Amino acid sequence: MAVSVGIDKVVKRFGAFVALKGVCVEIRPGELFFLLGPSGCGKTTLLRCVAGFHRPESGRILIGEQDVTDIPPHKRDTGMMFQSYALWPHMTLAENVAFGLEMRKLPRAEIRRRVLEALELVHLAERAKARPNQLSGGQQQRVALARALVIKPQCLLLDEPLSNLDAKLRLEMRMEIRGICKQAGLTAVYVTHDQKEALSVADRLAVMRDGAIEQIGTPEAVYRKPVNRFVAGFIGEGNFIEGKVDGTGPDGVNVATRFGSLKAAKAASPGLMAGDSVTLCLRPESVRFESPGPGTPNVLTGRYLESVYLGEVAQHVISLAPADGEGLSFKAFELNPLAGRDREGQAAVVWVPPEQVIVTRT
């Protein structure tokens, strides 16, 4: 399989602190690949290693088939888009976009043609003579994207590019960036701490923690089949219940927990054996509120602590009381709830289908 960006056993230290611990990633041509994780996990350090701003102590960075580990940033075939727009305020949009081409000493006619193409791609060709202070935040971000695209890099690097925009603009620019990258056939490496941003835009993503990669996969695979509790808790919301496998069968496994026996479908629990310690993750959106029929598995009872009505969804917090030990505040999302329903203080009976139960080893 062709690789556009290769990160091979990269180690990066800052004094005694090890920021990257032998990271390995292969990014495919034309792929939007996200680096996701909490602050301090190493995602921006890894991006800066690819850009050439940091040199790793060991390991290699490849762009295409070229080892660029010792090549300075301006000689790598990459374009960079930062958190701040970093536009020259005294230059027009066209002049800002042309800057990288002028540094490469391209012919004037070629520069004009490519600048116009780049501005058309981000829908700002008619504003070519405007200055940055005449634009909205979203428009300035489009100019920054055009400036990164105009040099026709083999790889586009984006360091939390939407963090300075308001919520509405972030939503608009997510799909704008994805559409432009796909239209241009670009490989992109995108750093963010925003799970929704990664899930909605990425082709594949890597979840990082403490300088290492916990899991790589498509958004659907990482969300539906997290490899451990950290990934399950970082990608989306979850209710976590610890237990031990007390039986397996052709249709799944039964797990003994403080809240009774819970069942997970076979596809969610490969390779488990009786006695294995596991942690179950029950997503709030997987909870069912209709009355469970006889024999329905995974029925949970408790009392509504809090109910928030948001129109298309109601967010509930249910207090589950175990036979012994501390209770659990259990989150449950109800789609298309009845308007004005006030459940706080009332008894709660909910259930989760076995195929919606996520199993990770403890």
Tens-digit pLDDT profile for residues 156-170: 999 988 887 777 878
Domains annotated for the chain, with CATH where assigned, are 5-230 (3.40.50.300), 237-361 (no CATH)
The secondary structure element, H or E, covering residue 281 is strand 277-282
pTM for the full predicted model: 0.88
CA distance 180 to 118: 10
Q: pLDDT tens digits for 320-356? A: 988 777 889 999 999 988 755 678 889 999 999 999 9
DSSP at 337: P
- Dig out the tokens for 84 from the structure: 């701040």
Q: Are 258 and 323 in contact (CB under 8 A)?
A: yes
Q: What is the pLDDT of residue 340?
A: 58
* 277-282 sheet: strands from edge to edge: 260-265, 252-257, 239-249, 277-282, 357-361
* More confident: 132 or 322: 132
> Residue 199 corresponds to which amino acid?
L
Q: In terms of DSSP bridges, do strands 239-249 and 252-257 run parallel, antiparallel, or are they unpaired?
A: antiparallel
Phi and psi at residue 95, to the nearest 5° = -70, -40
The Cβ of residue 332 has, within 10 Å, a number of other Cβ atoms equal to 25
| Residue 270 confidence (pLDDT) above 80 | no
Residue 111 clears pLDDT 90, i.e. is over it: yes
Write down the pLDDT at residue 361: 77
- Between strands 155-159 and 78-81, the pairing is parallel
pLDDT class of 231 with cuts at 50, 70, 90:
very high
